[in-house]
């Protein structure tokens, strides 16, 4: 008996989800190393390493086969602007990781889909239903549960994670505008190039000469970041972004595990409650987005 005609697409979708979850795991590995390394080096130096070694990886493995196609773009300004947004998100998050627990940063970072919804209205002029707006408001209430503003309980660096979410949401909006204009490999190259150039200007002012172990850690951060982006690109060749998106919340599990075993940190009850509210609202927004596209 022959296999069902839709067996292959389903298998491919599962492969894409598995690759996406692998990328999320790798990103948490990178963030854990960043948190450790930031104890010895300024966050700006760690950000430089993140982009520099990513750039080295792309140059070694893609430049020989891609040639000039790697840098050929139809919208240079948007490529640079998008890359600067991701750089801003990276600076905020890496700086915050120096001061706040990994799981807390991961929970607050989950607010990014909420900001994407808000910015899609302001920038892309998309129509958002009352139910989706309600989910956004509930999600932000979850963020307030974690932050508890006015009580002075959380470290001020947590607001850098909020800034990261805004930058990253804006980066996602810019990525939507680039879709179909340039190849994903070209877009990834400009991400590494712009970050490397900008941070190479900043890093000398905060530079601490690394020893052999330090260079190893800095190199691993950049290499994991580069490989993770490649894995995500591969994942999206098997499945759609909307299908994979809900699995981004697996980062909360990994950040809790890594935070406890590597740094002895556990999220408190308010962080857990806030994360549950944020994740629930985010999943509902994704569900409504899928319904909207189907109709």
SS3 annotation, 209-260: CCCHHHHHHHHHHHHHHHHHHHHHHHHHHHCCHHHHHHHHHHHHHHHHHHHH
| Gap between the Cα atoms of 229 and 39, Å rounded | 25
pLDDT in tens, 185-238: 888 889 999 999 999 999 999 999 999 999 999 999 999 998 998 898 888 778
- pLDDT band of 6, cuts 50, 70, 90: very low
Query: What would the two tokens of residue 54 be?
Result: 């990513």
Ramachandran angles phi, psi of 128, nearest 5°: -120, 130
Query: What would the two tokens of residue 263 be?
Result: 């740094």
| Gap between the Cα atoms of 23 and 217, Å rounded | 19
Percent of the chain at pLDDT > 70 equals 93
| Gap between the Cα atoms of 60 and 57, Å rounded | 5
Higher pLDDT, 157 or 183: 157
Count CB-CB contacts under 10 A for residue 196: 22
pLDDT in tens, 161-187: 999 999 999 998 888 887 678 887 888
Higher pLDDT, 295 or 55: 55
Q: pTM score, two decimals? A: 0.88
- pLDDT band of 4, cuts 50, 70, 90: very low
């Amino acid at each position: 008996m022959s296999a069902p005609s839709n067996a292959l697409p389903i298998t491919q979708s599962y492969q894409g989800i598995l690759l996406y979850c692998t990328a999320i795991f790798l990103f948490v590995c990178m963030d854990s190393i960043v948190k450790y390394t930031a104890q010895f080096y300024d966050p700006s130096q760690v950000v430089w390493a993140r982009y520099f070694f990513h750039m080295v990886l792309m140059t070694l493995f893609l430049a020989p086969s891609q040639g000039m196609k790697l840098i050929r773009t139809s919208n240079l300004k948007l490529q640079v602007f998008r890359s600067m947004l991701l750089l801003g998100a990276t600076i905020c998050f890496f700086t915050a990781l120096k001061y706040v627990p990994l799981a807390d940063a991961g929970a607050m970072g989950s607010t990014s889909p909420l900001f994407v919804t808000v910015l899609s209205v302001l920038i892309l002029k998309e129509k958002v239903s009352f139910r989706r707006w309600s989910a956004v408001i509930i999600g932000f209430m979850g963020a307030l549960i974690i932050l508890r503003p006015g009580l002075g309980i959380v470290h001020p660096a947590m607001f850098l994670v909020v800034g990261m979410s805004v930058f990253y949401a804006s980066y996602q909006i810019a990525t939507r505008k680039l879709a179909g204009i340039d190849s994903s490999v070209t877009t990834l190259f400009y991400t590494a190039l712009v970050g490397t150039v900008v941070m190479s200007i900043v890093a000398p002012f905060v530079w601490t000469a690394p020893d052999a172990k330090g260079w190893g850690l800095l190199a691993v951060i950049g290499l994991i970041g580069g490989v993770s982006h490649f894995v995500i690109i591969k994942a999206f060749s098997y499945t759609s972004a909307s299908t994979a998106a809900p699995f981004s919340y697996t980062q909360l599990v990994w950040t809790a595990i890594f935070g406890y075993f590597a740094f002895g940190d556990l999220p408190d009850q308010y962080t857990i409650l806030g994360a549950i509210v944020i994740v629930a609202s985010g999943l509902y927004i994704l569900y409504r987005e899928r319904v909207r596209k189907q109709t």
